[in-house]
Amino acid sequence: LVVGHEPGGPRFSQYACQRRTTTDNYNVVFTDAFEVLAECYEFNQMDGRCLAFRRAASVLKSLPRGLSSLEETHSLPCLGGHAKAIIGVGSSPKVLSDERYQTLKLFTSVFGVGPKTAEKWYRSGLRSLDHILADQSIQLNHMQQNGFLHYGDISRAVSKAEARALTKAIGETVQAITPDALLALTGGFRRGKEFGHDVDIIFTTLELGMEENLLLAVIKSLEKQGILLYCDYQASTFDLTKLPTHSFEAMDHFAKCFLILRLEASQVEEGLNSPVEDIRGWRAVRVDLVSPPVDRYAFALLGWTGSRQFERDLRRFARKERRMLLDNHGLYDKTKEEFLAAGTEKDIFDHLGLEYMEPWQRNA
Ligand code: DGT
Ligand code: MG
pLDDT of 244-258, one tens digit each? Answer: 987 788 899 999 999
Average pLDDT value for residue range 169-198: 98
Q: Which residues contact 200 (CB under 8 A, 6 or more apart)?
A: 185, 186, 187, 188, 189, 190, 287, 288, 290, 304
244 Cβ closer than 6 Å to some ligand 1 atom: no
pLDDT at 94: 82
pLDDT at 277: 84
pLDDT at 11: 67
- Using pLDDT thresholds of 50, 70 and 90, give the confidence band for residue 158: very high
- Using pLDDT thresholds of 50, 70 and 90, give the confidence band for residue 9: very low
Q: Annotated catalytic residue: which of 200, 252, 313, 327? A: 200
251 Cβ closer than 6 Å to some ligand 1 atom: yes
Mean pLDDT (the chain) is: 94
Average pLDDT value for residue range 64-85: 93
219 touches 233 (CB < 8 A)? yes
pLDDT at 294: 98
Question: Does residue 198 carry a catalytic annotation?
Answer: yes
Residue 112, pLDDT > 50, answer: yes
248 Cβ closer than 6 Å to some ligand 1 atom: yes
- The atom number, within ligand 1, closest to the CA of 193 reads 4
137 CA to centre of own chain:
33
- Using pLDDT thresholds of 50, 70 and 90, give the confidence band for residue 178: very high
pLDDT at 191: 98
Model pLDDT for residues 258-296, shown as the tens digit of each residue: 999 999 999 998 889 888 887 899 999 999 999 999 999
Average pLDDT value for residue range 89-106: 89
Question: Does residue 350 carry a catalytic annotation?
Answer: no
189 Cβ closer than 6 Å to some ligand 1 atom: no
pTM of the full structure: 0.95
Model pLDDT for residues 312-335, shown as the tens digit of each residue: 999 999 999 999 999 999 999 999
- The atom number, within ligand 1, closest to the CA of 249 reads 27
Name which residue sits closest to atom 23 of ligand 1, judged by CA.
251
- Using pLDDT thresholds of 50, 70 and 90, give the confidence band for residue 222: very high
Question: Does residue 347 carry a catalytic annotation?
Answer: no
- Using pLDDT thresholds of 50, 70 and 90, give the confidence band for residue 10: low
Q: How far is CA 40 from CA 21, 61, 307, in A?
A: 24, 20, 20
Count of other CB atoms within 10 angstroms of residue 132: 21
- Using pLDDT thresholds of 50, 70 and 90, give the confidence band for residue 236: very high
Closest CA to 46 of 115, 114, 123: 115
Closest CA to 238 of 178, 304, 296, 314: 296
Residue 75, pLDDT > 80, answer: yes
201 touches 318 (CB < 8 A)? no
Q: Which residues contact 81 (CB under 8 A, 6 or more apart)?
A: none
